[in-house]
Structure 1
Amino acid sequence: MGVAPKSGTLKPRPYARLLSMLSDQLIKNNTVALTELAKNSYDADASWVQIRVGNMDNFERDGLSDKEKPFVEIEDDGDGMSFETIRDSWMNPASPDKYKRRLKRKIKTRKGRVLQGEKGIGRYAVFQIGKKVEIFTRQRADGNKGGDEIKLITDLSGYSEGLLEHKKLKHPAEPLYLDQIESRYFIRDDAQFIKPGTISIEGKRLSRKTHGTLIRISELNYKWTLTNVRRVREILSRLQSPFGKKDFDVSIVFESEEIPTFEDFDLLEVLDEALLQMTGDVGKMGICEYSLSRGTRKERKRLDLIEHLKQDAVPENREHFFDKGDNRPRKPQCGPFQFKFYVYDLETMTDPKLKSYIKEHRLYIYRDNIRVYPYGDPDNDWMKLDIYRGLVRASYYFSNDQLIGYVDISSERNPGLRDKTNREGLLEQGTAYEDLRLLTLSALNFLHTEYQTEKLKATKKAKRHKERKSELYLQTERVEQSIRSLDRHLKKAKDDKGRKLITRLTDEYVKERNIYRRQIEIVEDLAGVGIAVDATSHDLMLMMNRANERMKEIQAILRSGDPDLDRLRDKADALEGLITSISANLSGIQPL
């Protein structure tokens, strides 16, 4: 090694293993990988994307032809890519193309969609799925026609683990640099794959266009099962907001069979069945213009969410927007946003399938009409409702199970709400995310008070109805009516002695009647205790099942051989919160 000069310049030159780090460590699983690729199709103004998985029976078999090898394909009818886009953007990690467009505020596509990507690494999700990637693409040109078909082949299967060197080398060599990984390309004027034809998308026969992109991935890292594919189907069915108009279809095919969405109900019809609906538009200072619907009744008002948060049962929440020694709240850093919540009374619901369907949904976050994961997953409690119900009292907060809804943010209005690099939620640096969460919680707390009022009205109405219909009530009415008739008769007959006797008899009757009513109320109170214990036991079983799921996830992470410490910490925190909630719920029913 020569002697280094006394001064000079150095340039960074990333090693090839950066590719495996981007795919393995920033994209945690196949579902996240396919979500990122589907978002790329959305950004390309595709009207559909189809994901095809096949030849899984041949996984890990040797001596297979290319057609026999297990594969995953992602095809769309988007605008496709030019050779320049492939050379300057696709081939280079952290390419700044979309980021520069954001800086210039040119964030909308030809169809008016807001671009989802900006970090320039989502495309490396392909290597999370497999080692060999073939891309066929035709760019949309004038007249809605496609240009030349470009084929790009990147095959990492010939390299060692971590992309340190070629497998064929007999002797260890210097670790490979990223610019030593080569991809081959071919440009054809007669298209092989992106050409006219028909395709089935969510059961509909559509005509293929002469532009779009097909990505074929082989030399797969994992074997795909029908269960895996159904999970992907379920998650990607909610990629675009289901609460509004959709213009982007996602189709999943496993072994040549299209996988349906398995929805027993139409979401929009279920939303109409909610006991309460609340729509809100939250301004930059936390003032919410909202409409509240109770069946056919609707009201429109304003609510100061920061001021209302002072009524929250958790001290840290009440103090969140106030610095020490300052009575004036600070400005929320999250920016303005919208929301819509639907509340259900599961106790009065008789259809078990409908009840199960409602429980599968949660409060989602959508940015520019595309879902931010994992908010809304059944095991995701980003509002911390389960924790608060355990720490304080279950009756103070909604259960996650009885809520469906979404919070709508945008990249333009909410620049402080940015994705984590690993696509696992929003960054929690600064206060923007927590501001969003607690303003949303404040709105939910207000809605919970309205819900309790409606429940109380319904309970009183049912009780009055029950009393009117009860045989005991009818019998006492008949007795009292007879007493009044007898008193009128004695008055007409001017029988004072008889009237004194009937007065004494009436007093004795009222005393006995009141005793019976008090006894009935005691029985009803005991029944109420039973209902409270039953409701708490339901919550306890739910939390214990979730705690068991978190424990299994922790065990799986620890057995992986290379545990993701951040993910492990998140699961451990969730488990601790659930155990705390279980303990608090048990303490709550102990006095009963």
Structure 2
Amino acid sequence: MQFRTKARAVDLLGKGQIADLPTAITELWKNGYDAYADNLTAEVFKAQYRNLSNSIFLITDDGKGMSRNDILEKWLVLGTDSKSRAELEQLEDQETLWKKPRIKAGEKGIGRLSVAYLGYPMLMITKKIGYPVQLLFFDWRLLENFNLFLDDIYIPVEDLTSVSEVREAFYKLKISFLQNFRKREDRDGNLIWEDKQMGLREDILRSAFNARLTDDVIDTVFSDLVDLRDSHGTKFLIFEPIDQILELAEENKDEDTRESREFTISSLSGFVNPFKENNQLVTTSFYIHEFLGQDKELINGEGKFFTAEDYKSADVLIDGKFDGNGNFKGDLKIYDKLIPYEYKTTRRKFAKKFYGEIPIKLGYSQGDRKDSMLSDNAFKKINDKVTKNGGLYIFRDEFRVLPYGRPNADFLKFEERRNKRIGTYYFSYRRMFGYLELSRGGNPYLKDKSSREGLISNDPYRAFEADLIAFFIQVAKDFFSDKAEQSIFLDQKKMLNQRNKAIESDRKRETEEKKAFSRSLNAYPNKFKIYEKEYSSLLALLEQKIQKNNVAFSEIEIVLERLHQLDVEFEKLLPAIPTSFEATDLQLDRLNKYEDQIRSFNNSLKKNSAVLMTKVAEIAELRDLKINFTKNIDVYKGELEAIIYENFEVLKTKVTLLLDEYNQRANSILTGFEEAKKNALGLAFSKDDIQKQSEGIKREFEDLKKVLNETLIPLVNHVNRMSFDIDEELLQGAYKAEYNRMRDQWNQVQYTAQLGIAVEIIDHEFNVLYSRISRLLHKLDKENEIAENSDYKLLEKTFRSLEDKYDLLSPLYKINSAVSKDIRCSEVITYIKDFFDIKLKEEEVKIVVSDSFQHHIIRVKEPILYTVLINIMNNAFFWMKNSEIKEIHFDYLREEKEILILNSGQKIEEHRLSKIFELFYSNRPTGRGIGLYLAKESLLEAGFDIYATNDSSYNTLDGACFVIKPNL
């Protein structure tokens, strides 16, 4: 007797044991890592992409690949023990791709079967160095037939030596695969395909017939493996991927689809432990190909997963090691305080269940901004991450163990305890981020379930789980509960709360002041219209009266009085620029427009008023003028008295309220102490009682004194520091404005630093790709048939256009090595026109150059001049987009030795003329505020300066005008 195995057993071991899509993909990626791959990818090619008739899925590794013998002896042999019992390879040779030997991530020998979960049918393409490409075609649904035995299944494999043979080889594979349907009966005479399984049979056949390889698919999938002797790797091409894979390409579908998509992205993130620095054992990517040249990368592009840097943003950090018997030794960082910490287990159950040493590094982020020491931006950054991906992760030999870290994988029951009493059980699963580190050698008894969905719940695991639960309960009891034995956390949290409360109160007050200022900006123009209308009508009336013969002064006296009152009230029509905060650019813009109205009023009505007053003086007697002069003085005095009285009443009310509140708080403190005194005296019956109550009274005194120092004394000190010689509001506003500028600049510096690093990497990669494409085009150009192809001609023309742009940019890369030289401005104009040729034509922009500029010669480093001009030109294109006339003028003023660059776009507001050269200041919606700052800095270093002006003698186009001059 011997065992016989049904084919569906493989289905149960493969697709049936895979919990979900991320698990299936990670199992295949682990196999790729074990094959010494450096890059693991998953790719969805959507229907219509490069002429595809339907969407396909491709999962790839650049590992060592397989020969035909490897496929037959290993890949098609289930449960191979080569990984589970293997030690590290002894040599760095072809089997390791000459890399350092790796600890195997796979273990059970069935991970390869997870490919069945991804869809059907499947084409495996694999190549080992020195061997031909191997193709294997199969539809895993065939295993669902419960009448088939394993030895009834035929899996076809074909060699491939050239790309030109792909279609023929694929056709052979499909024909060979169809042999599985030729037999009608098994060896015992039973029907293989019963009536109820005929639908499955038809589906498999239909999928096999519909599986096609287009030219573009062949080019994409095979080109990097075939025809190159030293190429290597493995690819799984799925012709009909499951819906869940296709949904990954849909960003804005219904709620269920979006949740599934985010779940997959989150689960595939952190494949290799990202919480460790420099731990990039392998690179994982998940691409969506929908439109040519617009590929999306899901894991790194959208994942926003954790990095080792995020630990710096943790309000609480646990860093140490469990010894395998329940004890912990390490450090706790609570805000900015580092505390050595040891925990001794008290467990008796599982006392002898050793599970091996387990390092832990776990950060914790406060859920409320007021409880954190982080800045607003830093808090938002880490809060976004923990909201999306927070949890306690487990990694074995640096590889993520699913499902730990997922929202529904709270295996230590943090939330369950927290729901019972939040004050006792401090830790929340969704606010933490970090890992527990397992290894196959160090923790052999903590094993994966056969479904690769968590650890087996054996005695060592239950001991491990119980120890961690007890540890976190004790840590919360020691430091974080509302009755913590040590008050380090609570004291710091209280201090942060008070500080943030004070800041928040100040922000609310400032917000109200800003709103009031904005409301006033809305109200002033209407007030001014009413004022202007009355002033104009009074002037008209006055002019009427003084034109009458023998007019008496008394007839015009009432009009004069009202006009004078309006002159005094004129100051109230000018909004006071706030000193306690910095007005926004938008508010300043509105002020500028309002000032234009005021200026127009002063230039017209006010001038007319002065002329009329002269005529009034001519017809009035000296006595009348003295009377009118005295009345005017009284109006001024009355206005001063009104202002003084109004503000005195405000001051008196506020002082009264403060005194009342001071007395109430002081009485509350004294009353509290008096009650403590009575209680203490009532309990003092012996020497011991007196000693005990004395200590209690002292503690009460210290507590009340602390309250007094935190509430009353700061107010008194603040009032005491106040002086008529110091404008506290102005000082506070200046510091706030400076702080806000520094904070914004720091955030931009971080962004710019990251951008700089990215550019440094991209620049190298771009140069490599650029040279490679250039060589390939040159090679293809020699092949007549290809060279005459219209698509090739278009490709070559496009690349040559890119090449021209690259040549134009090349001088800009050499600022450090460049030397100053004489540059003809006529050459500068040629460069500018070449650089912006397409933009100038598309946007119909005219460049006007004066003779003096055309013949001028400037001595400067070429890259400095060109980068400055390119930046100015780009700004000009943006601000001219809504202009009817689009012109950019270049001029040179010989006497002043100044270069002018002006355009017909939007004028720069007066208050922005100097700001636009500040670092990170920009009025463009997507501007970074770096270009003009760098332009000014580089020109200053080169002995020149640049500024913007609205002076009409310079700015003849009434747009933006920049002046470059020697910095003498």
TM over 0.5: yes
Closer, same or farther in 2 for the Cα pair 1:464/1:344, shift >3 Å?
Answer: closer
Instruction: Please state if 1:422 is matched with 2:441.
Output: no
Closer, same or farther in 2 for the Cα pair 1:182/1:464, shift >3 Å?
Answer: closer
Q: Corresponding residue for 1:340?
A: 361
* Alignment counterpart, residue 458 of structure 1, candidates 469, 489, 492: 492
Closer, same or farther in 2 for the Cα pair 1:287/1:428, shift >3 Å?
Answer: same
TM-score (norm: length of structure 1): 0.64
Closer, same or farther in 2 for the Cα pair 1:238/1:13, shift >3 Å?
Answer: same
The code of the aligned residue for 1:180 comes to: D
Q: Corresponding residue for 2:296?
A: 258
Deviation of 1:433 after TM superposition, in Å, equals 1.2
Secondary structure in structure 2 of the residue aligned to 1:419: coil
Q: Corresponding residue for 1:236?
A: 268
Instruction: Please state if 1:131 is matched with 2:131.
Output: no
* Alignment counterpart, residue 79 of structure 2, candidates 94, 97, 122: 94
Q: Corresponding residue for 1:378?
A: 407
Deviation of 1:394 after TM superposition, in Å, equals 5.2
Distance in 2, Cα, partners of 1:93 & 1:512? 79
The code of the aligned residue for 1:284 comes to: G
The code of the aligned residue for 1:298 comes to: L
Instruction: Please state if 1:292 is matched with 2:332.
Output: yes
Distance in 2, Cα, partners of 1:255 & 1:508? 70
Unaligned runs of 5+ in 1: 1-9, 59-65, 141-145, 165-174, 198-206, 308-320, 324-328, 481-505, 525-592
Q: Corresponding residue for 1:162?
A: 144
- How many pairs were matched up? 433
Distance in 2, Cα, partners of 1:237 & 1:421? 22
The code of the aligned residue for 1:330 comes to: A
Unaligned runs of 5+ in 2: 167-220, 250-257, 482-486, 506-654, 676-699, 708-968
* Alignment counterpart, residue 429 of structure 2, candidates 400, 406, 410: 400
Closer, same or farther in 2 for the Cα pair 1:472/1:267, shift >3 Å?
Answer: farther
Distance in 1, Cα, partners of 2:438 & 2:669? 66
Distance in 2, Cα, partners of 1:105 & 1:416? 26
* Alignment counterpart, residue 149 of structure 2, candidates 170, 173, 177: 177
Deviation of 1:441 after TM superposition, in Å, equals 2.4
Q: Corresponding residue for 1:559?
A: none
Deviation of 1:478 after TM superposition, in Å, equals 8.9
Q: Corresponding residue for 1:538?
A: none
Closer, same or farther in 2 for the Cα pair 1:67/1:104, shift >3 Å?
Answer: same
Deviation of 1:73 after TM superposition, in Å, equals 0.8
Distance in 1, Cα, partners of 2:57 & 2:419? 44
Distance in 2, Cα, partners of 1:416 & 1:450? 33
Deviation of 1:479 after TM superposition, in Å, equals 8.2
Closer, same or farther in 2 for the Cα pair 1:474/1:332, shift >3 Å?
Answer: farther
Q: Corresponding residue for 1:80?
A: 65
Distance in 2, Cα, partners of 1:138 & 1:472? 88
Which range moves more in the overlay, 41-50 or 112-121? Answer: 112-121
Closer, same or farther in 2 for the Cα pair 1:115/1:264, shift >3 Å?
Answer: closer
* Alignment counterpart, residue 20 of structure 1, candidates 11, 29, 37: 11
Deviation of 1:390 after TM superposition, in Å, equals 3.2
Deviation of 1:133 after TM superposition, in Å, equals 1.6
Distance in 2, Cα, partners of 1:287 & 1:251? 39
Distance in 2, Cα, partners of 1:83 & 1:331? 49
User: Is the 2:136–2:157 contact (alpha carbons within 8 Å) kept by the matching residues of 1?
Assistant: yes
TM-score (norm: length of structure 2): 0.40
Closer, same or farther in 2 for the Cα pair 1:332/1:457, shift >3 Å?
Answer: farther
User: Is the 2:392–2:432 contact (alpha carbons within 8 Å) kept by the matching residues of 1?
Assistant: yes
Q: Which has the higher contact order (CA 8 A, sep 6+)?
A: 1
Q: Corresponding residue for 2:237?
A: 216
Distance in 2, Cα, partners of 1:112 & 1:253? 29
User: What are the residue-to-residue correspondences of 1:29-48 with 2, within 5 Å?
Assistant: 29-48=20-39
Distance in 2, Cα, partners of 1:467 & 1:233? 38
Closer, same or farther in 2 for the Cα pair 1:473/1:137, shift >3 Å?
Answer: farther
Answer 1 or 2: which has greater strand percent.
1
The alignment-based identity, stated in percent, is 24
Distance in 2, Cα, partners of 1:208 & 1:47? 19
User: Is the 1:194–1:214 contact (alpha carbons within 8 Å) kept by the matching residues of 2?
Assistant: no
Which has the larger Rg? 2
Deviation of 1:384 after TM superposition, in Å, equals 0.7
Which range moves more in the overlay, 75-84 or 255-264? Answer: 255-264
Q: Corresponding residue for 2:158?
A: 186
User: What are the residue-to-residue correspondences of 1:56-71 with 2, within 5 Å?
Assistant: 68-71=53-56
Closer, same or farther in 2 for the Cα pair 1:219/1:346, shift >3 Å?
Answer: closer
Root-mean-square deviation (CA), in Å?
4.2
The code of the aligned residue for 1:135 comes to: M
The code of the aligned residue for 2:84 comes to: Y
Closer, same or farther in 2 for the Cα pair 1:322/1:512, shift >3 Å?
Answer: closer
User: Is the 2:47–2:53 contact (alpha carbons within 8 Å) kept by the matching residues of 1?
Assistant: no
Distance in 2, Cα, partners of 1:468 & 1:385? 33
Q: Corresponding residue for 1:445?
A: 473
User: Is the 1:133–1:154 contact (alpha carbons within 8 Å) kept by the matching residues of 2?
Assistant: yes
Q: Corresponding residue for 2:106?
A: 117
Deviation of 1:296 after TM superposition, in Å, equals 4.7
Distance in 1, Cα, partners of 2:668 & 2:404? 64
CA offsets 1:495-538 (integer angstroms, 9 cap, x no match): xxxxxxxxxxx9999449979x99xx9xx9xxxxxxxxxxxxxx
User: Is the 2:14–2:114 contact (alpha carbons within 8 Å) kept by the matching residues of 1?
Assistant: yes
The code of the aligned residue for 1:41 comes to: G
The code of the aligned residue for 1:177 comes to: F
Q: Corresponding residue for 2:541?
A: none
Deviation of 1:79 after TM superposition, in Å, equals 1.4
Answer 1 or 2: which has greater helix percent.
2
CA offsets 1:143-191 (integer angstroms, 9 cap, x no match): xxx532112222356x4x8224xxxxxxxxxx22112211111223446
User: Is the 1:375–1:425 contact (alpha carbons within 8 Å) kept by the matching residues of 2?
Assistant: yes
Distance in 1, Cα, partners of 2:233 & 2:360? 35
Secondary structure in structure 2 of the residue aligned to 1:441: helix
Distance in 2, Cα, partners of 1:277 & 1:267? 14
Deviation of 1:38 after TM superposition, in Å, equals 1.3
